[in-house]
Amino acid sequence: MGSVRESTGIKWKQISAVLTAFAAAVTAGILLGNTPLFQERFNRDDYYAGKILSCTERHGMNQTSQHTEELFSEEHISATGEVLLEVFEECKWPPNRTQEVDGYSRIEVLSRYGPLESEASSANVTDRIEATCPIVELDYQVTSQGNFEALPSVQVSRGMVVFAAEGRVVEVTGRWPGTGDTYPEPHQIISLHNGKRTLNAARCVEEVLTKPSPFSGWNPSMR
C-alpha cells in the first residue's frame, strides 16, 4: 500500500507541475500579448489595422487612402481665376522611410493655367506639388474624345521642373518663355503638361526609378 500511495503522490506532483507550467505559459502569453512585438508576430494583421486606424483618426481621414479636389477662384494666381487644389493622403503601416512616424503621407497639387497658352506647347497647365516626402510617384492619364488612357507612372524629386505627363520625365533647366510663377521652391515640384493630361494618382515612394531625359524644346513628342 505504501508503494501505491507513493506512486500516486508522484503522479499528482507531475500533474501539478504540468498545471503550474501551463498556468505560467498562459500568464506569460497574456503579458506578452500586450506588447507590440508579440502582436506583430502572432496577431500582425490586427496590430497593423490598429496603427492605420489610429493614423486615419489623427489626420481626420475617412479611409486609408483618399483623394479630394477643390476648385476655387484666386485671380492673383491664375488669369482665368480658376485654381484646382488636389490632395492625396494615405495612412500605411509599417511606414516606409519617407513617411511620417505614424505612417501618414500627404501630397498637395495646385493646378492652374500657364505658363504658355497653346495646348500644343505641352505647357499650358502647371501642377505645383508639395509633399511630406522628397520623392513622389505620379500617375497621369490622357483624355481624348471621352476616352481615358493611363500613362506609365513616373517618379520625381523635390526642386525639379519636369514634363511628367508624357509617361516619362523630361527635366527642364534654365529659363523658359511664358509668364507666371513656374519656378519651384526647394521643397516643391513643378510638373508642366497640356490640358488633355490630368493627374489620376500621387503617392510617396522611397526611390526614383524613372531616369530624367534632357529637355530638347518646347514641344516634347506627344502621344
Tens-digit pLDDT profile for residues 194-203: 888 889 999 9
Calpha distance 35→138 (Å, rounded): 38
pLDDT of residue 78: 46
- If one compares 110 and 71, the residue with the highest pLDDT of the two is 110
Model-level pTM greater than 0.85? no
| Rounded percentage of the chain residues whose pLDDT exceeds 90 | 29
* Nearest alpha carbon to residue 152 among 163, 136, 168: 168
pLDDT band at residue 132 under the 50/70/90 scheme? very high
Instruction: Quickly count: other Cβ atoms within 10 Å of residue 72's Cβ.
Output: 10
Calpha distance 129→107 (Å, rounded): 7
- If one compares 2 and 191, the residue with the highest pLDDT of the two is 191
**Is 162 in contact with 171 (CB distance < 8 Å)?**
yes
pLDDT of residue 36: 56
- For the cut 80, the answer to whether the pLDDT of residue 191 exceeds it is yes
Contacts of 151-156 with C-beta under 8 Å, sequence gap 24+, read 151/197, 151/223, 153/210, 154/210, 155/205, 155/207, 155/208, 155/209, 155/210, 156/129, 156/189, 156/191, 156/208, 156/210
**Is 181 in contact with 210 (CB distance < 8 Å)?**
no
Q: pLDDT tens, 148-177?
A: 889 889 899 998 888 877 777 777 765 555
Would you list the domain boundaries of the chain?
A: 2-32, 62-214
